[in-house]
């Protein structure tokens, strides 16, 4: 699909913009005035509509609720200093959305429908994009199965919905984390690489327990032996070990993060060695002991670059350097911000300009 989409737009008559406190945004609680909804029926996407944010009526029998045929994406739109509005790398999210669709046996969505729908919605709610440092408009596309049928079989109908939320930073302090060696987020042959709703449902109990033990986040480890690092909460995890950027290689159990890919591209462009491979807990602990671990952070759209301040393993606490003194992640953050807020030339072509 390359033609401009036919989108019906109905604007709200009661904007909530004036009553929204942009200085106290809690991630994911404040929704902008509009949403986009489209239906998949009879083998095609139809009824693409932008309308006031609000409830939608659904049968309680829809298979998304019973069998979890549901998945989502997360990306952000930024307001540049010259007023330009751009979404960061939406084609990557479109591709991953379709990878999730394939694994969950749903309809797929044309990349142009995904990106143009998002651009149209962001344009309608452009006044909702906060311009303050570290702020943006978080975009949440979701697809879910809508057949009212209790047979365990792929639905024939789906909804594609896009919501947006003005947001500030997701984490506001360095994180204290533990390696999760009991629960598992994803196993080989499973669907950890998909952004399936069920992956997040299954993470809530381990998160709750980690929080009760005083941790801000947990680092998932491999399902077989719990010896290798996989991801950090809802973000990828990256380390600087002995001057090299080291991160778990993507596989069945790991979400192929857009931020991860962005950080790797920046590191390579700076001539820094990058290793995408299995990363053991043992070598991270060893690096913390001998000083070769000079940076450690989560990388994700919501999380952005979230520094790990300390980690705990086998009863021992390892405190890492003050994040503000870390050369690599500080340079990544600054460069990323410069690109996303349009302060420097976008040499990688990462900004999808809306207007
Ligand atoms: N891993 C998981 C489990 C996530 O939920 C996310 C967040 O989207 C990421 C990694 C990071 O991916 P991205 O950088 O594309 O947001
Ligand atoms: C995102 O960064 O979009 C995420 O997936 C995190 C979200 C679940 C809060």
274 contacts 267 by C-beta, under 8 angstroms: yes
Whether the domain at 8-169 and the domain at 175-340 fall into the same CATH topology? no
Q: Which CATH class is domain 8-169?
A: alpha beta
Residue 241 DSSP label: E
- 263 CA distance to ligand 1 middle (Å): 13
- Ligand 2 pocket: which of 301, 304, 305, 306 to mutate (most atoms <8 Å of CB)? 301
Q: Are strands 8-9 and 44-52 parallel, antiparallel or unpaired?
A: parallel
Pairing label, strands 175-180, 235-241: unpaired
CB 311 within 8 A of CB 302: no
What is the 271 CA–ligand 1 centroid distance (Å)?
25
Q: Which residue has the tokens 């962005």?
A: 262
| 329 Cβ inside 6 Å of ligand 2 | no
Q: What tokens were used for 286?
A: 């060893």
Helix, strand, coil distribution of the chain in percent, nearest 5: 25, 30, 45
Q: What is the pLDDT along the chain (355 residues), one digit of tens a residue?
A: 456 889 999 999 999 999 999 999 999 999 999 999 999 999 999 999 999 999 999 999 999 999 999 999 999 999 998 999 999 999 999 999 999 999 999 999 999 999 999 999 999 999 999 989 899 999 999 999 999 999 999 999 999 999 999 999 888 899 999 999 999 999 999 999 999 999 999 999 999 999 999 999 999 999 999 999 999 999 999 999 999 999 999 999 999 999 999 999 999 999 999 999 999 999 999 999 999 999 999 999 999 999 999 999 999 999 999 999 999 999 999 999 999 999 999 999 999 999 8
Say if ligand 2 is within 6 A of residue 86 CB. Answer: no
d(Cα 63, Cα 100) in Å, to the nearest integer?
16
Is any ligand 2 atom within 6 A of the Cβ of residue 74? yes
pLDDT at res. 4: 80
Q: How far is the CA of 151 from the centre of ligand 1 (A)?
A: 31
CB atoms within 10 A of CB 323: 20
When the candidates are 2.60.120.560, 3.40.50.2300, 3.40.50.1820, 3.20.10.10, the CATH number that belongs to 175-340 is 3.20.10.10
**CA 303 to ligand 2: nearest atom:** 2
For residue 74, the CA-to-ligand 1 centroid distance in Å is: 8
Give the per-residue pLDDT at 2: 54
Strands (E), 146-234: 158-167, 175-180, 217-221, 228-232
The Cα-based distances of 247 to 199, 240, 264 in angstroms read: 21, 9, 9
Give ligand 1 pocket residues (Cβ under 6 A).
74, 231, 234-236, 255, 257-260, 300-301
**Which of 300, 303, 304, 306 best tests ligand 2's pocket when mutated (most atoms within 8 Å of CB)?**
300
For residue 38, with 0-12 CB atoms within 10 Å meaning exposed, 13-18 middle and 19 or more buried, which class applies? buried
Q: How many CB atoms lie within 10 A of CB 41?
A: 14
302 CB less than 6 Å from ligand 2?
yes
98 Cα–ligand 1 center, Å:
15
CA distances from residue 248 to 37, 228, 279 in whole angstroms, order as listed: 36, 9, 6
Atom of ligand 2 nearest to the CA of 140: 3
Residues 300 and 124: their CA atoms lie apart, in Å, by 26
Choice from 91, 194, 206, 259 to test ligand 1 binding pocket (greatest atom count within 8 A of CB)? 259
CA of 195, closest atom in ligand 1: 5
């Amino acid at each position: 699909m390359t033609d401009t989409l036919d989108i019906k737009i109905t604007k709200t008559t009661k904007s909530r913009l004036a009553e929204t406190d942009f200085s106290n945004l809690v991630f994911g609680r404040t929704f902008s005035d509009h949403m986009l909804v489209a239906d998949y029926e009879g083998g095609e996407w139809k009824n693409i509509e932008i309308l006031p944010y609000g409830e939608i009526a659904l049968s309680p029998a829809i298979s998304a609720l019973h069998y979890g045929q549901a998945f989502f994406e997360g990306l952000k739109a930024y307001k540049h200093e010259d007023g330009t509005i751009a979404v960061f790398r939406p084609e990557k999210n479109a591709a991953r959305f379709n990878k999730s669709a394939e694994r969950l046996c749903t309809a797929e969505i044309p990349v142009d429908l995904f990106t143009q729908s998002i651009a149209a919605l962001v344009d309608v709610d452009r006044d909702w994009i906060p311009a303050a440092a570290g702020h943006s408009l978080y975009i949440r596309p979701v697809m879910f199965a809508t057949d009212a049928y209790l047979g365990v079989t792929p639905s024939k109908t789906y909804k594609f919905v896009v919501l947006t939320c003005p947001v500030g930073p997701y984490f506001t302090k360095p994180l204290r984390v533990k390696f999760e060696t009991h629960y598992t987020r994803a196993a080989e042959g499973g669907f950890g690489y998909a952004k399936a709703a069920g992956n997040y449902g299954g993470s809530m109990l381990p998160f709750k327990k980690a929080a009760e033990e005083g941790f801000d986040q947990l680092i998932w480890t491999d399902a077989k032996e719990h010896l290798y690092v996989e991801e950090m909460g809802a973000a990828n995890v990256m380390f600087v070990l002995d001057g090299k950027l080291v991160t778990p290689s993507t596989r069945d159990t790991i979400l192929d993060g857009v931020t991860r890919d962005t950080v790797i591209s920046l590191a390579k462009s700076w001539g820094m060695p990058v290793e995408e491979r299995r990363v053991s807990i043992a070598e991270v602990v060893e690096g913390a002991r001998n000083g070769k671990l000079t940076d450690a952070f989560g990388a994700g759209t919501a999380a952005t670059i979230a520094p790990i301040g300390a980690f705990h393993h086998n009863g021992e606490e390892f405190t890492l350097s003050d994040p503000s003194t870390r050369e690599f992640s500080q340079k990544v953050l600054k460069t990323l911000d410069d690109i996303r807020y349009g302060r420097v030339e976008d040499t990688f072509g990462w900004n999808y300009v809306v207007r």
